Amino acid sequence: MTPDHATAATFEPVPIVIARGDGIGPEIMDATLRVLEAAGARLAIEEIEIGEAVYARGVPGGIAPESLDAVRRTGVLLKAPITTPQGGGVKSLNVTIRKSLGLFANVRPCPSYAPFVPTRHPGMDVVIIRENEEDLYGGIEHRQTEDVVQCLKLITRPGCERIARYAFEYARAHGRRKVTVLTKDNIMKLTDGLFRRVAEEVAAEYPDIEHEHRIIDIGTALLADRPDEFDVVLTLNLYGDIVSDVAAQVAGSVGLAGTANIGASAAMFEAIHGSAPDIAGQDVANPSGLLLAAVQLLVHVGQGEVAARVHNAWLRTIEEGVHTADVHDPTSSRERVGTRAFADAVIARLGEEPRTLAAVAYADRAPIHVEVAARPAQRKAQVGVDVFLDVPDAVPDELGARLEGLAGPRLRLDMITNRGQTTYPGGVPETLCVDHHRCRFVAADGDVTTEEVLALLGRLAAADLPFIKTEGLFAFDGVEAFSRGQGR
């Protein structure tokens, strides 16, 4: 693609990879590429196949290794939605791409386009920045007993620092005034607590950006009710997944939002909606989500001027009431168009700016790059061990008495919990007890050794008390780093 306002000799095309996906994917990708070409995007496009057909060939992640290599080589993927096959053995394509390319930051702008797309919040202009790799999305799940399954929530300090720095850098680069951090650290004091603490440490380095923390539940309620009070929102993976759809819908329609998934060496851009098989092939799908994702792509590859041309032409199209069926509204729409005609309408307005909505401008700047600071090692000492036992129909006081006798010379039984609630000592009969018991053993003084833990497990096994797993209880630089039993 060669721009109409520059020569190919002046600007080398940037290599990118595209994937047309399934359902409405090919139609909205065609529409998007036509607009980009007409706007003068300087892109050398390579195409890969993803989705249903790849899954059908038995590739569990829906993308072949050589396709992933193409994305790794170019560092940029524009991806249309795919249809996720039902059934076991299938891995999420998005999670596969995010994890294998280290796309740690998910960025979703959710502005209102009122009065042209109806919303109760015309002043809304929120960007959700979501940690994209960690949290409950590690896919580490186990069934441990007849009664209990577990999903592991992993939060890392480097992961928190990277996304927090990204959010503050983003705010600064985009002239935004405030970052709101959403966590549930009143309940998950270690995991969400780490996210909040690291975000606050990073915030201290950005005195020009205001910051605040809110608990995720009331924070989401406020975001849905008073979104004008939010600017950049920074949160963990699962909360971000939910909150970003809430924000997009409150802004007007999930059908209009595009998302960027950013890593240190690669980035993926996509619409947030799915493959809409119900309307595939009918030329009625709205290409706006993918087109606005492509706008973020252009900014990312340093073609901010082209990005602004596309975005402003799109805004002008929307405010002139040229709408696809999904956002068509008798009060704000003038013309109801299909996918191709919508793209034609945007192309016809390239070079124009919106009249009522604010025009956008994107500086040609390098992508945001964040470094995670090295930290001095801390002294780690084991002060005890939680042993998880599978004992059906246990009476907590009887199990406690048996474990007291098996604790050993230097360890003592501190407590038993069931689903986190303390059942021994001092449990109450109202607590629902399943077959999954966390039994905490601690040493009166000195570090607990691996040999002591192994000997304890041996005594438990010999007493016909099968263990599921153990969790070490550690102190770092003398500060205990584990949760207490609820109700203690």
Which one of 66, 208, 278, 430 is in contact with ligand NAD (CB under 6 A)?
278
Q: Any contact of residue 220 with ligand NAD (CB under 6 A)?
A: no
CA dist., res. 486 & res. 483, Å (int): 9
Query: Is there a contact between 182 and 220 (Cβ–Cβ < 8 Å)?
Result: yes
Q: Any contact of residue 183 with ligand NAD (CB under 6 A)?
A: no
Query: Interacting stretch for ligand NAD, rule CB under 6 A, among 277-285, 355-363, 367-375, 405-413?
Result: 277-285
Torsion of CA 307, 309, 313, 314, to 10 degrees: 0
Q: Which is nearer to ligand NAD, 244 or 423 (CB)?
A: 244
| Residue number closest to ligand NAD, CB atom | 274
Q: Any contact of residue 286 with ligand NAD (CB under 6 A)?
A: yes
CB of 270 to ligand NAD, least distance (A): 6
CA dist., res. 227 & res. 11, Å (int): 40
Query: Is there a contact between 164 and 199 (Cβ–Cβ < 8 Å)?
Result: yes
What tokens does 179 get?
């970052």
Which one of 279, 341, 347, 406 is in contact with ligand NAD (CB under 6 A)?
279
Distances (CA, A) of 329 to 14, 35, 250: 38, 24, 16
Q: Any contact of residue 263 with ligand NAD (CB under 6 A)?
A: no
Per-residue contact flags (x/-) with ligand NAD for residues 73 to 112, judged by CB under 6 A: --------xxxx---------x------------------
What tokens does 173 get?
């680069």
Helix (H) or strand (E) holding 404: helix 396-406
DSSP state string for 84-152: PPPSTT---HHHHHHHHHT--EEEEEEE--TTTS--S-TT-EEEEEEE-SSBGGG--EEE-SSS-EEE-
Distances (CA, A) of 460 to 410, 423, 434, 456: 15, 19, 19, 6
Per-residue contact flags (x/-) with ligand NAD for residues 14 to 43, judged by CB under 6 A: ----------x-------------------
155: number of CA atoms within 13 Å, CB side?
22
CB of 282 to ligand NAD, least distance (A): 10
Tell me, by CB under 6 A, how many residues bind ligand NAD: 19
Query: Interacting stretch for ligand NAD, rule CB under 6 A, among 105-113, 209-217, 266-274, 301-309?
Result: 266-274
The arrangement of strands across the sheet holding 411-418 comes to 421-424, 411-418, 436-443, 380-390, 467-476, 479-480
**Tokens 């909505």 — which residue?**
357
Which one of 114, 267, 285, 413 is in contact with ligand NAD (CB under 6 A)?
285
Q: Any contact of residue 296 with ligand NAD (CB under 6 A)?
A: no
Which one of 103, 233, 276, 368 is in contact with ligand NAD (CB under 6 A)?
276
Q: Any contact of residue 321 with ligand NAD (CB under 6 A)?
A: no
Q: Any contact of residue 326 with ligand NAD (CB under 6 A)?
A: yes
Give the footprint of ligand NAD on this chain (CB under 6 A). Answer: 24, 81-84, 94, 255, 270, 273-279, 285-286, 289, 326
